[in-house]
A and B are shown apart, each in its own frame.
Chain A
Amino acid sequence: MSQAAANKKRPKYLNLSALLFEIHLPLAGWVSILHRISGALLFVATLWLLFMLDRSLASARDFAFVQHYLGLLPVKLALLVLIWAYCHHFCAGIRFLLLETQRGWDKPTARLSSIVVLVAGLVLAALFGARLW
């Protein structure tokens, strides 16, 4: 192990190909950065979501408009992304709460919980997305 480390070429410079193909974010890192990205996305998208909630509760005619609006493909796709963002943020948040209460700190468990969060976010998004379609 230390021999392999000693044989590596030093110094190592960071360039684009190293960033793209050699250095990988660990799975927990993906969970974390996606938690941040999905959160920022939801902050921006709340404007749009409130618009739809507002219209859907205004009157029967406005509700019908929202239903028609939700039938449009770009709207559906955008909403699907937001559904994923919410599901991922939800699952990753629960993982962070568990970590902060000192649960799942060892490496295999932390890696497993990262995979569970990434998969659960996608599965839940597919589940609720299917109902949208």
Chain B
Amino acid sequence: MVSRLVVGAHYGWRDWLAQRVTAVVMAAYTVILAAVLLLSAPIDYGVWHDLFAQGWMRVATLLFAVSVAWHMWIGVRDILMDYVKPAGLRLALQVFVILTVAGYLGWTVQILWR
């Protein structure tokens, strides 16, 4: 019998799961938005503006944006861990990615609640 003692902080498992959960959130938003846009065509400024003026749409889009940011960070971090070996360069790129993703999220909030 193999008795395995699992130790550690489980960061890898948490990120792995977060990437899957955010993927499901994004997929749901994508399908809903695609349906709304296909049903409300043609899209002029009034339709577009009114869509994003609604409370549920803003909150849904915010949840989507948070999911994108989280998912994006884990995905790009994985790419950097696979291909960029020098630790200093990798750290610098990872910091850049975190700042970029945070900037994207802040900008999205600003667009939604202007």
Contacts of A43 in B (CB 8 A): 72, 75-76, 97, 100
Cα–Cα, bound, A53→B72 (Å)? 19
Interface residues of A (CB under 8 A from B): 36, 39-40, 42-43, 46-47, 50, 53-54, 56-58, 60, 63-64, 86, 90, 93-94, 97, 100
**Which chain A positions have C-beta within 8 A of B79?**
36, 39-40
Q: How far is the CA of A104 from the CA of B87 in the complex (A)?
A: 38
State which residues 75-114 of B face A: CB under 8 Å.
Answer: 75-76, 79, 97, 100, 104, 107-108, 111, 114
Residue of B whose beta carbon sits closest to that of A93: B23
How distant is B99 from chain A, measured CB to nearest CB, in Å? Answer: 13
Q: Once the chains are docked, how many angstroms separate the CA of A46 from the CA of B45? A: 22
- Give the B interface residue count (CB, 8 A): 22
Closest to B82 in A: A36
Secondary structure at the A interface, as helix, strand, loop or mixed, is helix
**Contact between chains at A50 and B20 (CB < 8 Å):** no
How many residue pairs bridge A and B at CB < 8 Å? 50
- B111 touches which one: A46, A57, A63 (CB < 8 A)? A57
Query: How distant is the Cα of A42 from the Cα of B48 in the complex, in angstroms?
Result: 23
Please tell me if the beta carbons of A54 and B107 are within 8 angstroms of each other in the complex: yes
User: A63 to B100, alpha carbons, bound, how many Å?
Assistant: 25
Q: From A128, which residue of chain B is reached at the shortest CB distance? A: B34
User: Which 7 A-B pairs rank lowest in CB-CB distance, beginning with the nearest?
Assistant: A63-B45, A60-B45, A39-B75, A54-B111, A93-B23, A43-B76, A43-B72
